[in-house]
Chain A
Amino acid sequence: MADCPMSHEPVENDPIADPPPLEEELVAYLDGELDAQAERRIEQLLAADPTVRETLRQLEHTWELLDDLGAADVDETFTRTTLEMVAVEAEEEVRQVTAELPRRRGWRLAMQLGGLGAAALAGFLAVALLRPDPNRQLLEDLPVLENLDQYEQVGDIQFLEMLREAHLFEKEDGHGT
């Protein structure tokens, strides 16, 4: 404001300098944005200074002139086309989700098959490791089985035991049996 004596710093990038603090306070006063203390201060100033009163009147008057701009008159066409645009957007979202469904189903099927395969492998390993192996006993008895005919000719277990204790079988089977 040219007629205001209060000084101020000009601000960079703004071709019109900042208004003095008084005008800033007057605008905030008109907008109801001052605290009670600042409001009292402005009211005292207004009561004492006709120049300040005139500045306030002009600020208020030009603000009221903005009422002449009026509000836009929006018709039903705008509402309808806006909602149609959004409906098209919603349809597009549904289309995208639907298009992704087969791919998602494929992934789900692959995951299910993979799970089944893993379960089958785990079951096989468990059975293979835990079940008694019938061949193991055969392997252990193999040295006896290989010489079964000769052992049967002896006919006396105690005699065979004596031969074993004398380590006479070790050269043949290497197992001490």
Chain B
Amino acid sequence: MISESSAQLSPLRDPDVRLMLEVRDGSAAAFEELVLRYQRRLVTVLEHQLGSREWAEDLAQDVFLRVYRARKNYVPGAKFSTWLFTIANNGALNALRNRSRRREVSLELRQSGLSGAHPMERLLQASSTEMPARQLDKAETRQMVRLALESLNERQRMAVLLSKFEEMSYADIAEAMELSPKAIKSLLSRARVNLREVLEAYVQRGELPSPRGDDPSPDPS
């Protein structure tokens, strides 16, 4: 939560807050402008968070719909982007948790050997035949980075995405993820150390990182 004085100043500082205030007053053009400004950013973060473009687009549209529904009660209390990504983060967390419940059956199948290997293992099998000189091409690097990102838990991943793609400060990420800046500092640090361990090991030696997957635990620190 930001202070009352900064809340009063934010509409003057943030043009997107002013647009949202116009949306609140019934301007369809202002809403369209917000969609145009944020659709790419929102889909980018959600696609990397959810690991599916189609799913990301569905959720991004749901986020815009929620913004529209909330317009009449909108009170500028933070940067518009922070507010938008708070809605997006909550939507993504819910979507991931619903997916994990649906995946319980398929996970049991995988563990019983009826399904394929972990994606990281598949990638390694496909690309590690010639390991001594690790010359990764662009597509392989992108795939490896994507898998390394997937190896983070969902909150580490969202913090990384907001930091990397939205260039948010720790304070803004904290607000968007409803955590303290101290927790974000710790979360981002662990995420980047994990990424370094996965990616450096792979780039240097082609070593298989231990798979992790989403961790729905509520404790960020």
Q: Name the distance in Å between B143's Cβ and chain A's nearest Cβ.
A: 9
Given A62-B199, A68-B145, A74 contacting B65 (CB threshold 8 A): no
Q: Is the CB of A85 within 8 A of B195?
A: no
* B interface, size bucket: 35 or more
Interface flag for B3 (CB, 8 Å): no
Q: Is the CB of A78 within 8 A of B43?
A: yes
Given A66-B160, A79-B39, A15 contacting B212 (CB threshold 8 A): yes
Q: Which of B27-67 contact A (CB under 8 A)?
A: 28, 31-32, 35-36, 39-41, 43-44, 47-48, 53, 56-57, 60-61, 64-65
Interface flag for B74 (CB, 8 Å): no
Interface flag for A70 (CB, 8 Å): yes
* Distance A74 CA – B35 CA, assembled complex (angstroms): 11
* Distance A155 CA – B110 CA, assembled complex (angstroms): 131
Q: Is the CB of A68 within 8 A of B43?
A: no
Q: Name the distance in Å between A31's Cβ and chain B's nearest Cβ.
A: 7
| Interface size in chain A (residues, C-beta < 8 A) | 38
Interface flag for A143 (CB, 8 Å): no
Segment touching A, from B9-17, B124-132, B182-190: B182-190
B interface residues with partner A (beta carbon < 8 Å):
28, 31-32, 35-36, 39-41, 43-44, 47-48, 53, 56-57, 60-61, 64-65, 68-69, 138, 141-142, 145-146, 148-149, 153, 160, 163-165, 169-170, 185-186, 188-190, 192-196, 199-200, 212, 215, 217-219, 221
A-B contacts, 15 listed (Cβ < 8 Å):
A13-B217, A13-B218, A16-B212, A19-B193, A31-B170, A33-B185, A62-B148, A63-B195, A65-B199, A66-B160, A66-B164, A69-B146, A72-B40, A78-B61, A85-B61
A interface residues with partner B (beta carbon < 8 Å):
1, 11-16, 18-19, 23-24, 27-28, 31, 33, 58-59, 61-63, 65-66, 68-74, 78-79, 81-83, 85-86, 89-90
